[in-house]
A and B are shown apart, each in its own frame.
Chain A
Amino acid sequence: MAALYEGYTLCGLAPAQNLLSSGIQGVEAERDSDHVVVTDSTRSVTLYKVSDQKPLSSWTVKQGQTLTCSAVYNSQTKEYVAVSDGKVSSDVWRVHCVAGGEPVVLFQRGAVRLLDSLLSAPQQSIEEILAQEEVIRWSTNIVTESQQVVIFTTEQKGDHFLYLQRLNPNTLQRYRLEREEPGLSPLSFSASCRDKHICLLYLYPNGHVYQSVVPVRGLGADEGAQALLMPRSLLLALPIGEGLLEAASAQVLDDAHVAVVGVPHPSAGAGKDFLCIWNTNFQTLQAGKEMAGKIYGQLWRYSNKLFIPHGKTLSVIPYEWPKSSLASALGKLRQAKTEGELKQICTAPVVIKTCANDVHKTKTMDVQGLQPSVGQLASTLVSRSLDDPTFYTPSSLAQLVHTRCLCHSVCPDLVLLALERKDYFLCQLCLQFFPDIPEAVTCACLKRHRNEILQTAYSDSFLLPHLKDLSSQHVLLFLQYLQFLYLKYSQDAFPQMHGLRSPSLTQIMDWVCLLLDAHFTVLVMTPEAKGLLLNLHSFVKSQVRLVSELGKIEGSLQELNKMKVKKDVGQYSIEVIELF
């Protein structure tokens, strides 16, 4: 399950007076994942070491000059590129540079030049690609193994277009985005490359997140022709609460996860200051974090960190996400990864004890946060117990199970270990608290156990084949016991008297049915089972008769219910009747 970790502040912000912009033009990657270049909206550029939350160096343009776009780092030449006051040969929109690619300049009128070529011929003429009144809204630069692509979107009279400018050879592809509801323009774009296709993800103010996929390789022929309509698919319809989103951004994390900022948390009410990770395959919310202060709709991602300007700070939020799977989406995946600190604990039993005690003490605290550590602790204990026949810590394990933070998938060997060590108490606890015990294991328990098992969750179709493994003697015994239980409970007016842990009548009945299903032919052939089966048969017959009688009673009682309550007629009324 994707997780957002505790964030930290990279730097303070000087937001604009009207709080419409964060005061940051952009955050760009530097030499590695721990360094970023932050360009503010006026004239300074700062290099930060992220993990230290420390500025390493900073420079500013002259007084009176402004930076046109974020400064970028050219990793090939180890140079920084910044554009001040907008002009090179024509008005510049942005300079892009990504690792493995050359710096490119995107002009406001849509032309694209490699920085090198521009520098070598500064006075060259820059063509105008865009139509009148068409303006660039967003741009990015992607390098695939074979191709560098500049992607930008434009807006013209409410229509939005996507341009794919491929470099070497230069081709330009123009797509038109499908219109959303009238008047709605995309709030944010995010592009990623996947399987020689470029995925464009864009978020609308109504919370809809669309994905469009276009091939990296151009179609060639229709270059420059009419803009193609870009097919799109709705990835997510985010709950937006009341009104439309104003400042929000969606960022692709991988093919299944999207980070969204500025959209309300579905279960936290109307506030829009949340950072959430959504799984787009299963439409599930994977993680959420409240961001204090104003959200500006800006979001950057470099390696496993999200950079979010909010309020008066630029926060860095590390995150992680596993490969998308149903299990993880539903939060049931075994928590394999753990934090480093716990690994050390495993070495000394003494430490384990302390830790277990700690766990016990902090049980009342945030259970959610405790789950991974409890799981880790338990699996460590279990694996050690399995390895070392002399080592077994029943009470600690029982304590851990009692926290209810464990489940079978976290610690798959625990139940079998308990069975092996004949620790039936622990087994019982597991059966009681684990929601996800596999049917095979349930059957294994069944061979040794009796009431607790009846209460565990199971699925008929999975349990059935495993039940068949039981021997007919076992089945007979088990059936007799079930019958005994049933008679006992049905005679008793207050089955609850036996304590909360006794199986209910329906559970017993279900088990009887299951057993009969699994072993019917065998039982029919077994002479000892004859009496039992006859008993059950007559019992079921009487029950069926009772139910049918009850059905009749129910029918007539329902008729009573349907009978119209005579309305109170006052002294006078005017009614309409019909005679037939």
Chain B
Amino acid sequence: MGEFKVHRVRFFDYMPTAIRAMAFNSRTERLALARADGALEIFNFADNYFQEKVIPGQDGRAVEALCWVGQRLFSAGLNGEITEYDLENLRPRYTVEAYGGPIWTISSNSQGTLLAVSRRERNFNDIQCFDFVFCDLLGRIISLSWHPSGTLIAAGMMDMIRIFDAETGRATHRLLVERGVGASKSKEVVVWSIVFLSDHTIVSGDSAGKVQIWDGVTGTLVRTQLVTKWDVLALSVSNDESSLVAGTSEGTVVQFQFISSTVGQQDKEWVRTRTFKNHSHDVRALAHTETAVVSGGMDTQLVVRPLLDKVEKNTQESALRKMTLPHRSLVCCAKKAGLLLFQFPDHLELWRLGESDGHGKPGDSLPVKRKPEKLIQLKRKGEDHICCSALSPCGGWLAYSTVTSFRLYRLQNNNISITKVSKLPKDLRSAHQLCFSPDSSKLFASSSHSSVIVVALNQPECKYLHTLKPKSGSRQPVHLLFASEDGKWLATANTDCEIHVYNLDKLKLHCTVPVYSSCPTAIAIHPTTSNLVAVHADQQIFEFSLVQKEYTEWSRKLQKQGLHSLWLERDTPITHVAFNPQNPAHIILHDTFMFCIIDQSLPLPEAKTPFYNQMTLRSLPEPQRIIHSHAFKICKNFQHLMCVSLLEDHSLVVVERPLLNIMSQLPAPVRQKKFAT
């Protein structure tokens, strides 16, 4: 197969921020997730948990609560604003000032007609429905929950829970929450989370570490369960109200189930059943889906913990998933210039790779003659975080976009100068995705309704050429762009799972690849055969001939035979596809935990073939290797990959972000698990 010189890069200090809030839309199976920097992410749980959309954050936007109303997504935060998001253009649609202080919580009634937020105005703490304002003079409202009937609202406050009549706005019950024992006796207890069940049971989680079950009709405490020494921060109940989970500051998630405590008895009660420990830090956000507990918090990881009584055991569905790294590339590699562009929310870093003149045998580390060098750190302008960026293959152009602005820079790498291109076409105001043509003469920017703006890059200015639009009329954003090496084709993929290919000579749509049910996670066009390779969130690989406008023979063979089960079981998407100019049969792919070279000239692995066979092949004598070889050459030497790219000198660049490095930058957890404690 061959030797590769690999630039192993670990200086991309990508740091995801803490998860603050979560909302699961069980109808669309989308999970909305808010991070501490205000960014929103949409995961499609129906499509292999693919992170299909990211709405970049904004300085000062601190989302405290998220709420789906039908397919609309609302957030509220400590800046006192309620925001609805435009999930097609990946930006806030509008923001409503709630005329008060910080908003702690937002909740819609089950009919999806009313939205309640808690706010603090002057001395009043109130719940503002869009029609009503319930006043309460006593304390801040931290948490809210509508009764499914929409007639009552339960509010978690300091030291108490109040139940309001949604129609009259009157408080019907006041439930006093006991403070913690000992030193914390003098401290107010905060009801961090509350759930109002249809049988008028109210479940609360508080800062004293208690989960309490109340009878909302009589206003009496039914049961108290101390689950942690610290805070119970989040609660989430399953749709059928038979299971409930509580997230704590210790990083544990405790499950309660509504079952009869003794076999054969009809009386059911809430019984603590399971404890999951998948987080090192506070669990701030929880979602109880049909089959799994989804949790997130300070340690930045999104964890999907399937409930083994709801899924079939030992299937892919029953596997625990931890999602830390994004499902899109934050690294852009200029393969001609040997430069790397790292995208952070508030700045960009441009690095030049190091050099080595040594030769070594496989397994060696070569002496680094020239160290890598950070050439430029570019701070973004404005409040909005960077949503996409690109570096031209020659390293001469750099572009980035936020939801409100677009910037293009001319780079001179010899004397490291950066000049902003001031005159930009007015159509180019913002982009979801950016891509330069391989000869660096054009810039492609995906815009609204899956359209792509084509701009010619000429010095000193750049000129608008055309806007490419698909015929499908999809309103979804384009999240993948790929311009072919020969400059003839541009492929786009959107979250409607459509892949469109445009002919750049004619500036016209060339074809649309048959829509597959799973979202494309990486696309690329082969430099010589002009075959489009698309990899989807469900790990399927398709090869589509742009000339014949049909799937290639190899693709059909692959579909017929099926991918190896171990390939399908991987739980991170392929985020990049590249080709090896030295060998046209090679396709280079990578996910978070491996990179893979598919040799199309070799037989596909059978179901019983050992899939990860590199070690075996290594131990075999040369002539026998070919017998045991199959098309998938998988290298797991490098982990937590953010980027794998092939430079023009045929050396590989792998950008790793070890999870340990991310963990080490987190604040100390409240409680650390010690051995045997």
Of B32-40, B85-93, B94-102, B366-374, the one with at least 4 CB within 8 A of chain A:
B366-374
B511 within 8 A of A: no
| Chain B, range 357-377, C-beta contacts under 8 Å to A | 359-366, 368, 371-372
Check A579–B365 contact: CB distance below 8 A: no
B597 within 8 A of A: yes
B4 within 8 A of A: yes
A565 within 8 A of B: no
Q: Which of A569, A571, A575 is B364 in contact with, Cβ under 8 Å?
A: A575
B252 within 8 A of A: no
Question: Which residues of B sit under 8 angstroms from A580, Cβ to Cβ?
Answer: 1, 614, 617-618, 625, 629, 633
Check B366–A577 contact: CB distance below 8 A: no
Instruction: Bin chain A's interface residue count.
Output: 10 to 19
B6 within 8 A of A: yes
Q: How distant is the Cα of A577 from the Cα of B10 in the complex, in angstroms?
A: 17
A388 within 8 A of B: no
A576 within 8 A of B: yes
Question: Which residues of A sit under 8 angstroms from B629, Cβ to Cβ?
Answer: 580
B590 within 8 A of A: no
Q: How distant is the Cα of A182 from the Cα of B285 in the complex, in angstroms?
A: 90
A572-B7, A572-B11, A572-B372 known; A579 vs B597 contact (CB < 8 Å): yes
Question: Which residues of B sit under 8 angstroms from A369, Cβ to Cβ?
Answer: none
Question: Which residues of B sit under 8 angstroms from A577, Cβ to Cβ?
Answer: 3-4, 6, 362-363, 635, 637
B5 within 8 A of A: yes
Q: How distant is the Cα of A579 from the Cα of B614 in the complex, in angstroms?
A: 7
| Chain A, range 556-580, C-beta contacts under 8 Å to B | 569-580
Q: Which of B8, B359, B362 is A573 in contact with, Cβ under 8 Å?
A: B8
Q: Which of B371, B597, B618, B633 is A572 in contact with, Cβ under 8 Å?
A: B371
Check B3–A578 contact: CB distance below 8 A: yes
A569-B8, A580-B614, A580-B617 known; A574 vs B354 contact (CB < 8 Å): yes
A570-B10, A571-B10 known; A576 vs B372 contact (CB < 8 Å): no
Question: Which residues of B sit under 8 angstroms from A578, Cβ to Cβ?
Answer: 1-4, 362-363, 618
Question: Which residues of B sit under 8 angstroms from A575, Cβ to Cβ?
Answer: 5-6, 8, 363-366
| Chain B, range 1-60, C-beta contacts under 8 Å to A | 1-11
Q: How distant is the Cα of A466 from the Cα of B545 in the complex, in angstroms?
A: 92
- Total interface residues on B, CB under 8 Å, equals 34
Chain A interface mostly helix, strand, loop or mixed? Answer: strand
B356 within 8 A of A: yes
Question: Which residues of B sit under 8 angstroms from A574, Cβ to Cβ?
Answer: 5-8, 354, 356, 365-366, 368, 651
Check A579–B8 contact: CB distance below 8 A: no
Q: In the complex, what's the smallest C-beta–C-beta distance from A578 to chain B, in angstroms? A: 4
Question: Which residues of A sit under 8 angstroms from B372, Cβ to Cβ?
Answer: 571-572
Taking CB as reference atom, which chain B residue is nearest A567? B365
Q: How distant is the Cα of A569 from the Cα of B633 in the complex, in angstroms?
A: 23
Q: How distant is the Cα of A263 from the Cα of B193 in the complex, in angstroms?
A: 95
Q: How distant is the Cα of A243 from the Cα of B126 in the complex, in angstroms?
A: 102
| Chain A, range 525-580, C-beta contacts under 8 Å to B | 569-580
Question: Which residues of B sit under 8 angstroms from A571, Cβ to Cβ?
Answer: 9-11, 372
Check A579–B5 contact: CB distance below 8 A: no
Q: In the complex, what's the smallest C-beta–C-beta distance from B655 to chain A, in angstroms? A: 10
Q: How distant is the Cα of A571 from the Cα of B9 in the complex, in angstroms?
A: 6
Question: Which residues of A sit under 8 angstroms from B366, Cβ to Cβ?
Answer: 573-576
Max chain B C-beta neighbours (<10 A), residue from A570, A572, A573, A574? A574
| Chain B, range 569-584, C-beta contacts under 8 Å to A | none
Q: How distant is the Cα of A575 from the Cα of B597 in the complex, in angstroms?
A: 18
Q: How distant is the Cα of A572 from the Cα of B1 in the complex, in angstroms?
A: 25
Question: Which residues of B sit under 8 angstroms from A576, Cβ to Cβ?
Answer: 3-6, 359-364, 366
Q: In the complex, what's the smallest C-beta–C-beta distance from A248 to chain B, in angstroms? A: 53
Check A572–B9 contact: CB distance below 8 A: yes
Taking CB as reference atom, which chain A residue is nearest B1? A579
Question: Which residues of B sit under 8 angstroms from A579, Cβ to Cβ?
Answer: 1-2, 4, 597, 614, 633, 635
Question: Which residues of A sit under 8 angstroms from B3, Cβ to Cβ?
Answer: 576-578
Question: Which residues of A sit under 8 angstroms from B371, Cβ to Cβ?
Answer: 572
Taking CB as reference atom, which chain A residue is nearest B618? A580
Question: Which residues of B sit under 8 angstroms from A572, Cβ to Cβ?
Answer: 7-11, 354, 368, 371-372
Check A569–B6 contact: CB distance below 8 A: no
Contact with A along B372-411 (1 / 0, CB 8 A): 1000000000000000000000000000000000000000
Q: How distant is the Cα of A577 from the Cα of B365 in the complex, in angstroms?
A: 9
Check B4–A573 contact: CB distance below 8 A: no
Max chain A C-beta neighbours (<10 A), residue from B363, B371, B651? B363
Q: How distant is the Cα of A571 from the Cα of B372 in the complex, in angstroms?
A: 9
Taking CB as reference atom, which chain A residue is nearest B617? A580
Taking CB as reference atom, which chain B residue is nearest A570? B10
| Chain B, range 171-223, C-beta contacts under 8 Å to A | none
Q: How distant is the Cα of A69 from the Cα of B424 in the complex, in angstroms?
A: 117
Q: How distant is the Cα of A574 from the Cα of B359 in the complex, in angstroms?
A: 10
Question: Which residues of A sit under 8 angstroms from B368, Cβ to Cβ?
Answer: 572-574
Q: How distant is the Cα of A577 from the Cα of B597 in the complex, in angstroms?
A: 13
Contact with B along A209-246 (1 / 0, CB 8 A): 00000000000000000000000000000000000000
Q: How distant is the Cα of A578 from the Cα of B356 in the complex, in angstroms?
A: 18
Question: Which residues of A sit under 8 angstroms from B635, Cβ to Cβ?
Answer: 577, 579
Question: Which residues of A sit under 8 angstroms from B597, Cβ to Cβ?
Answer: 579
Question: Which residues of A sit under 8 angstroms from B614, Cβ to Cβ?
Answer: 579-580
Question: Which residues of A sit under 8 angstroms from B360, Cβ to Cβ?
Answer: 576
Question: Which residues of A sit under 8 angstroms from B7, Cβ to Cβ?
Answer: 572, 574
Max chain A C-beta neighbours (<10 A), residue from B1, B362, B625? B362
Taking CB as reference atom, which chain B residue is nearest A580? B617
A580-B617, A580-B633 known; A573 vs B2 contact (CB < 8 Å): no
Q: How distant is the Cα of A575 from the Cα of B637 in the complex, in angstroms?
A: 11
Taking CB as reference atom, which chain A residue is nearest B366? A574
Contact with B along A475-503 (1 / 0, CB 8 A): 00000000000000000000000000000
5 nearest interchain CB pairs? A580-B617, A578-B362, A579-B1, A574-B356, A574-B366
A residues whose Cβ falls under 8 Å from a Cβ of B: 569-580
* A-B contact list, 9 entries, CB within 8 Å: A572-B10, A572-B354, A572-B368, A575-B363, A576-B363, A577-B3, A578-B3, A579-B4, A580-B618
B residues whose Cβ falls under 8 Å from a Cβ of A: 1-11, 354, 356, 359-366, 368, 371-372, 597, 614, 617-618, 625, 629, 633, 635, 637, 651
